[in-house]
Every structure is written in C-alpha cells, then in structure tokens.
Amino acid sequence: MKLISVVSLLLLLMAPSAMAGLVSLDINKLTTYDWAADEAVVGGNLSFLIDEAVADTDIAPNQGRYYDAIKGGTFKNFQTGETYLFDLDTQNCIDILTFDSLYSDVNLKGYLKNEHGKSVFFEIGMRFVSKADDYLHSLKNNPKVLGSSVLFNLFEEWDHFQGYDPENVSVKPINEVSEPAPLFLLLIGVGTLALRKKRDLSLQ
C-alpha cells in the first residue's frame, strides 16, 4: 500500500500541471581558450533548474532579484573531464535588469561543487532580446539570447567560458524539455515540488 501511495504521489507531482513554474536553462558548447594549443575550444555544457515561482525582492522598478531560485544544475567541463554539481547548501541569486522593454540582462550567481566536494563560486551573465517581467515568467517563453553575450566564470579555478551561438541557449518549462530529459532535472523537480506541497499543507 505504501508503494502504491508513493507511486501515486510521484505521478501526481510529475503531471504537467504540477510542473508549472519549473524552468530548465541549458547552455551548450561554451568555448574557452586553450593556452597550450593557443586556440579557442569547446569547453563545456551547463544545465540549471529554476523555480520561477520565487518572489521578487523588488530592489528597483526595472530590476528583479530572486534569492534561491536556482534549484539544481550541473556543469560538464570538457577540458578536465570533471562534472560539477550545483551546491544546494549555499545561497544563490538571479538578477534581471530590463532596459526600455528592448532587452534584459540576466545574471546568475551561486556555487558549484566539484568532484572533490569543494564549492566554487560561479557567475553567469546573459543578455536576452525579450523583456523579463517581475516573476521570471518570461523565461518560459524561451527568450533568445544575443550572440556572444553569455559569459560564465568559475572563480578560484580561473576558468572563463563564453557562448557565441544563440542557438546553444534554451530556456523552457521542464515539462517541455526534449527527450531524453536529464534525469537529475526530473528528480530535483520532484523534490522541489514535494517540499513546496509540504510547505503549503503546513500553512493550512
């Protein structure tokens, strides 16, 4: 009976309606400079899970700031072969600054944990053509990033990456991610929804 209940809960949480608010940000084929080869090379791929239901702190009329809106993610470093996982035990932040409804600068800050368990601070900057609203809702519409505007810095390890091709950046609702979707996004999404459901029940 317990197994049936657990399976039923998972199916409920995985329904498209329950996935509302969870957004997948994928940045592929980031480039970096190989000093030994003296040329730019493909450096890695990034994937993040964002909860757009997180409230804006309203720091300015044209700027949104969202604390702990990043719920999970990975970075695959092609140069070292390492896979970094998003550090859920640290605070993260997303800033969105709009300019006259023409474009928006999006900045993500947080920590990635390497395979040795060390947390490394990262920062990602992007510029989108479409305007973002006060609740991250526009991220669901897969806004187009301007070419060469993606900058990814992995501090302490002095790794710097850049994205040149807008086609390599996608932002979509998690229930619209093309198959096969990354398993970690599904698992993190289910966990996030379960915590959200538990919190809502405790407030009743």
Residues 45-101 pLDDT 10s? 999 999 988 888 877 878 889 999 999 999 999 988 999 999 999 999 999 888 876
The pTM assigned to this predicted structure is 0.73
Higher confidence at residue 114 or residue 200? 114
**Confidence check: pLDDT of 196 > 90:** no
Higher confidence at residue 197 or residue 90? 90
Could you give the C-alpha distances from 52 to 70, 101, 138, 142, in angstroms and in order? 9, 20, 9, 13
**Would you say 4 and 174 are in contact if contact means Cβ atoms under 8 Å apart?**
no
**Confidence check: pLDDT of 177 > 70:** no
- Residue ranges making up the domain that contains 149: 2-203
**Would you say 65 and 84 are in contact if contact means Cβ atoms under 8 Å apart?**
no
Q: Taking every pair of C-alpha atoms in the chain, what is the biggest distance, in angstroms?
A: 62
- When mean pLDDT is compared across 103-107, 169-173, 200-204, the lowest value belongs to 200-204
Number of domains in the chain: 1
The model's confidence at residue 161, banded by pLDDT at 50, 70 and 90, is confident
Higher confidence at residue 76 or residue 18? 76
* Mean pLDDT computed over 188-194: 53
pLDDT at 70 (0 to 100): 96
Token digits of residue 144: 């187009």
